[in-house]
Amino acid sequence: MVIWSEKYRPSRVEEMVGNEQARLLIVKWLSGWVSGSKPLLLVGPPGVGKTTIVRVLAAQMGYDLVEMNASDTRNKEILQARISPVLANTGIFGKKILLFIDEVDGISGREDTGGLDTLIDLMQEPTVPVIMAANTKSSKIKDLGKACRVVEFGPVPDSHLAILLNHVLAEQKVSLPLEDRAAIVRTSRGDARSMLNSAQALASGYSLLSARDYHLDIADAINAYFGSDLAEQAREYFFRADAAYNDPRFGASPEDRRKDMINALFSSIVSTRLKPDDLAVLLDILSKADVLVGRASKNMQWVLVRYAREILAYRMFEPSRRRGIKYSQYSMPWPLMGPIFARARSMSGLLTELSSMAHTSKSTFGSTVMPYMVRIIAESNAPADKIAEELGLDEPASQALFKEIERTKGIGTVTGGSEGRRKSSAVGDSRGGGRRGSKG
Amino acid sequence: MSSLKGDLGGLMWSEKYRPSRLQDVVDQKEIITALTSLIRGSDVPHMLFAGPAGTGKTTTALCVARELLGDDWRRDTLDLNASDERGIKMVRERVKEFASVMKLTTDSSKQHDRPFRIIILDEADEMTPDAQTALRRIIEDSSKTTRFIFICNYLSQIIEPIQSRCAVFRFTRLPEEEVVDYLKMICEKEKVRYEERALSQIYSATMGDMRHSINILQTAAGMGSVSVATVASSIGLSGRARVGEVIRMALAGRFNESRAKLMELVQVYGMSETDFLRYANQEAYEMKLDRPDEFAELMAEYDYRLASGAHPEIQLAALLAQLGRIGLKSREAKAEKA
C-alpha cells in the first residue's frame, strides 16, 4: 500500500502549501548560491514541508541530493568520513551536489560524540550548498544556528490543508463526510503529513484521530456505514453517529425523529431497491433491534440500547455490502406519502367524532363502519352537507367527509356500474392511477 | 360532552337498530336475565363484559346505563375507548376529572334513587397491565359514587385484581339464525329486497359481528338489493378485505405497494396494529397458503415484536418483507415441481 503522504509529496515548489515566504527565501538562496555561502538551517514543526522543499528544489534545479538524517549515526568520525568527500569532490561527477542534513537537533550529545562540533567546523565556508533542518531551535543547536542562516517554518494554515486534503481524496476517489474532513484538518495542527496519514487511516478503517469522541451527522454515518468495505471501519462510523435510540411515540420533535437510528436505517433500507431476501434479512435484524429499543424505553433499561447498536452494526454489515443503500430521511417518496398524510390529517378529527358516536374505537370504526358509511352516502346521492349538519360535524370534519365521499364517487360507481367496476373500486385506490402506476 | 354529540342513527342502520332496552338485546339471554335482576337490586357491582366483536357488549352497557340512570343517562355516563386514549395518562385524567365532578353533583341530582355515575371503558384489554393497575386505585377511590363497566374481547388480558372487583359476563358469538333474523327484520322495515343466501354470506364474512353485518347489509341495499353480488362487493370495502390485499401484495413481492396500502389503512382509517394482525390471520386462513404453519410462526413472532418494539410501522414493514420471502420461496418451489 502506498502511503499517501509519500505519494502526494509535491514534486514542484509551486505545488507546496503554506510557508510561502520561507519557500521564496530558500529558492532565492539556492539560485544565488556561491561557494562559501552560509548554510541554511530550516527550523519548524514536522510535516510543514522542510524536507519536501529540499528534495523538490534539488530535482528542479538539477542538483544531486545527498541526504543524511537521524537514522544515521553521526558522530565526529562518521560525519567527517561522509561529509568531507562530498565537500571535496564537488564537480568531479559533472553534477552539482546539494547536501541535506535532516534532523540536526536529533544529533545526540553522547552517542554522536563531537558530532555537532564537527558539523559546525565543516560548515565553515562549505564548497557545496548545505541545508540542515531541525524541529526546534533548542539550545543544543544554538551554536550551529550561529554558523547558519536560519529560516523558520510555521504550521500550514487549515484552509491550505483542507484544499490539499480535498485534492488527495479526489485523486484517491475516496469520499469522507465533511465532519470527518474538518476533524482531520483540525487535529493535524498544521502538519500536512500527519493530516494525510490520518485521512488514509480513516479511509482504510483505523481511526488515529486524537478526537475520537466527536459525532457524525446521522446521514453521513449511515452513508459511510453502508459505503465502507471494511467491517471495522463501517462499525466505527456507525457508532459515531449522532443518533438516538428510543420510542418515538413518546413525544418526539422533528429533530429527535431525524436522529432516530432505527427509523433512519429503516427509511434508508426501504428506499433502496433490494432483492426480497436481502430486504427480509435486513428488516428482520432491524426489527429485533427495535424490540430491544422498545424494551429499553419501556423499562428504562438503557443498557439494552447498547446491545441494539451492536446487533445492528455487526449483523447488518454482511447483508448490506454493495447493495447501494444510501441515507434517506423518508421511508416513502413524497408523491406517494404526501396524499396519504394529507388524508390522514383531515380524517383524524372526523374518525374521532364518528367513532365516539358509534361507541367504538377508531380502528373498529375505520374497518367496519367508515368505508360502508362513505359508500352508502355516495350511492344515495343525499346532500352531504345536510348529513354533516345532522351529525353535528364541525367544519374540518365536514370537509373531510365531503372529500372521502367525492373520492369514493371518483373511484367507483354511483348506481348502475358493472360488477367488475364495483369489484375494482372495492379493492380501492385507483383514483390517481397515474400516481400509483408510476411507483412500479 | 355527550350532549353535544351527533347521532348516527339517521344515517347508519347499525345505530338506528341498536337496541335501547336490555330486553331487546339479541341473544345472550342468560346475561340479560342476570343483569336485569342485578340492576334492580340495591347494590350494583362493577361489571366486566368479555366476548367477540359485535355480540352486544357495548349495547348492553349503554342499556344498563340508561336503565340505571334514567333520561339523563348521557350526562352521567362517561364512554371511553381505551384503544384510542393512547396513554394511561389520558384515561386517568378523564376518569379522575369525571369522578371529582360527580361528587359535587350527587346531592343535587337526587331525582335518581342511585346517586352514581357510570364509566364505560371499552376495549379495556388494549390497556397495558401498568395502566390497568393504575385504574385499580381509581376504582376504589370513587367506588362510593361510580360504577365501572369494563368491556373487552379477551378476558385473559384483564389483570386479576380488576376481574375480581367486577361481576364478569361472557358474551358468546351470535348464532347464525339470530343474526339472519335480525337482518331480515331490518330489510322488512327498510323495504329492501334480499336473497337468503346473501344473508348467510354476510354472517360468514363477519363471523357474527352484528354491527359489521348490518353495515354490509345497508351498503348492499344501497346498490339496489341485497344479493350475493352486491354483498360480495360490499364485503370488499371492509378493513379486513383491505388487509387481505396488503398480505397478497406482500406475498407477491410487491413490497412497496403493500407498504403504501398498509400506511393508508393505519394513517387514514386509524387501524390499530393488533387489528391488522387479527385481520391478516383471518384472511390468510382463507387464502389456503402452502405453508400455513410458517405463516403462523411468522405472525406469532411479529405479534410479539410489535407489542414490545418501539416502531410499529417498522415492525409491520419487516413482517411484509418476510412475507415477500415466503411468497418467493413458494413460487420457486412450484416452478421446480412444474
Please tell me which of the candidates B10, B233, B321 has its beta carbon nearest to residue A279: B321
Could you tell me if A144 and A133 are in contact, meaning their C-beta atoms sit under 8 angstroms apart? Answer: no
Q: Are residues B301 and B197 in the same domain?
A: no
Could you tell me if A51 and A102 are in contact, meaning their C-beta atoms sit under 8 angstroms apart? Answer: yes
Q: Are residues B117 and B160 in the same domain?
A: yes
In angstroms, the first-to-last Cα distance of chain B is 64
Looking at this protein, which amino acid is placed at residue A94? G
Nearest to A17 by CA among A129, A134, A185, A176: A185
Could you give the number of structural domains in chain B?
3
Nearest to A53 by CA among A147, A192, A163, A189: A192
**Domain assignment present for B75:** yes
* Surface of B (10-39) touching A: CB under 8 A: 10-12, 14-15
| A422–chain B Cβ distance below 8 A for any pair | yes
User: What is the pLDDT, as a whole number, of residue B134?
Assistant: 79
Q: Are residues B61 and B160 in the same domain?
A: yes
Q: Which domain holds residue B310?
A: 240-329
User: What is the pLDDT, as a whole number, of residue A427?
Assistant: 37
Could you tell me if B6 and A357 are in contact, meaning their C-beta atoms sit under 8 angstroms apart? Answer: yes
Inter-chain CB proximity A391 and B7 less than 8 Å: yes
Q: How confident is the model at residue B137 (pLDDT cuts 50, 70, 90)?
A: confident
C-alpha dihedral sign at A217, A221, A222, A224? positive
Angle, vertex CA B28, rays to CA B23 and CA B31, nearest 5:
80
Cα gap B192→A414, rounded to integer Å: 18
Q: Are residues B307 and B166 in the same domain?
A: no
Cα gap A401→B307, rounded to integer Å: 32
Q: Are residues B21 and B166 in the same domain?
A: yes
Q: Are residues B116 and B261 in the same domain?
A: no
C-alpha dihedral sign at B276, B282, B288, B291? positive
In angstroms, the first-to-last Cα distance of chain A is 45
| A438–chain B Cβ distance below 8 A for any pair | no
Q: Are residues B64 and B24 in the same domain?
A: yes
Distance to chain A for B195, nearest Cα, Å:
17
Cα gap A330→A266, rounded to integer Å: 9
Question: What CA–CA distances, in Å, run from A424 to A37, A419, B220, B276?
Answer: 96, 9, 16, 22
Could you tell me if B119 and B146 are in contact, meaning their C-beta atoms sit under 8 angstroms apart? Answer: yes
3-state DSSP call for residue A233? Answer: helix
Domain edge (last residue) among B210, B236, B262: B236
Could you tell me if B9 and A391 are in contact, meaning their C-beta atoms sit under 8 angstroms apart? Answer: no
Boundaries of every domain in chain A: 19-152, 215-332, 334-430
Q: Are residues B298 and B160 in the same domain?
A: no
Cα gap B310→A298, rounded to integer Å: 9
Mean pLDDT of chain B: 88
Question: What CA–CA distances, in Å, run from A88 to A80, A93, A97, A133, B165?
Answer: 11, 12, 11, 22, 111
**Domain assignment present for B31:** yes
Nearest to A31 by CA among A55, A65, A68, A62: A62
User: What is the pLDDT, as a whole number, of residue B181?
Assistant: 96
* Surface of B (274-303) touching A: CB under 8 A: 275, 279, 302
Task: State in words which class domain A19-152 has.
Answer: alpha beta
Nine cell digits for residue A272: 433502496
- Model pLDDT for residues A295-319, shown as the tens digit of each residue: 988 887 888 888 999 999 999 999 9
Q: Are residues B284 and B304 in the same domain?
A: yes
Cα gap A322→A314, rounded to integer Å: 16
* Surface of B (193-252) touching A: CB under 8 A: 206, 209, 211-212, 215-216, 218-219, 222-224, 229, 233-242, 245
- Model pLDDT for residues B49-93, shown as the tens digit of each residue: 999 999 999 999 999 999 888 888 888 888 888 877 655 666 677
C-alpha dihedral sign at B144, B150, B156, B157? negative
Domain edge (last residue) among B142, B170, B198: B170
**Domain assignment present for B308:** yes
Could you tell me if A317 and A224 are in contact, meaning their C-beta atoms sit under 8 angstroms apart? Answer: no
Nearest to B163 by CA among B133, B141, B122, B128: B133
Residue B18 has pLDDT above 80, yes or no: yes
Nearest to A228 by CA among A239, A219, A236, A240: A236
A–B CB contacts, 8 A cutoff, strictly below:
244
- Model pLDDT for residues B187-223, shown as the tens digit of each residue: 999 999 999 999 999 999 999 999 999 999 999 999 9
Question: What residues of A are in contact with residue B15 (Cβ under 8 Å)?
Answer: 357-358
The domain that contains B296 carries what CATH number?
1.20.272.10
| A276–chain B Cβ distance below 8 A for any pair | yes
Q: Are residues B39 and B125 in the same domain?
A: yes
Q: Quick one: A98 exposed, middle or buried, by C-beta within 10 A (0-12, 13-18, 19+)?
A: buried
**Domain assignment present for B334:** no
| Inter-helix orientation angle A276-299/A261-270, to 10° | 170
Looking at this protein, which amino acid is placed at residue A277? D
Inter-chain CB proximity B5 and A392 less than 8 Å: yes
**Domain assignment present for B205:** yes
Residue B320 has pLDDT above 90, yes or no: yes
Inter-chain CB proximity A357 and B15 less than 8 Å: yes
- Model pLDDT for residues B99-109, shown as the tens digit of each residue: 666 545 554 44
Domain edge (last residue) among B148, B170, B192: B170
Higher pLDDT, B227 or A337: B227
| A266–chain B Cβ distance below 8 A for any pair | yes
**Domain assignment present for B335:** no
**Domain assignment present for B4:** no
Strand partners, A96: A63
Q: Quick one: B10 exposed, middle or buried, by C-beta within 10 A (0-12, 13-18, 19+)?
A: exposed
Nearest to A120 by CA among A96, A97, A98, A101: A101
Q: Are residues B194 and B117 in the same domain?
A: no
Strands (E) across B171-259 are located at none
Cα gap B26→B75, rounded to integer Å: 26
Looking at this protein, which amino acid is placed at residue B49? F
User: What is the pLDDT, as a whole number, of residue B312?
Assistant: 92
**Domain assignment present for B337:** no
Q: Can you list the alpha helix ranges (DSSP code H) found in A240-383?
A: 254-259, 261-270, 276-299, 303-315, 334-357, 362-368, 370-380
User: What is the pLDDT, as a whole number, of residue B316?
Assistant: 96
Q: How confident is the model at residue B306 (pLDDT cuts 50, 70, 90)?
A: very high
Distance to chain A for B61, nearest Cα, Å:
10
pTM of the model: 0.66
Q: Are residues B157 and B51 in the same domain?
A: yes
Find the length of chain A: 440
Average pLDDT by stretches of 10, chain A with 440 residues: 82 87 92 87 88 90 81 68 71 73 73 71 82 81 84 89 91 86 83 84 64 71 89 86 84 82 96 94 97 88 88 94 91 88 91 91 93 93 88 92 89 44 38 38
Contacts of B318 (CB under 8 A, 6+ apart): A283, A284, A286, A287, B302, B305
Cα gap B265→B237, rounded to integer Å: 12
User: What is the pLDDT, as a whole number, of residue A111?
Assistant: 56
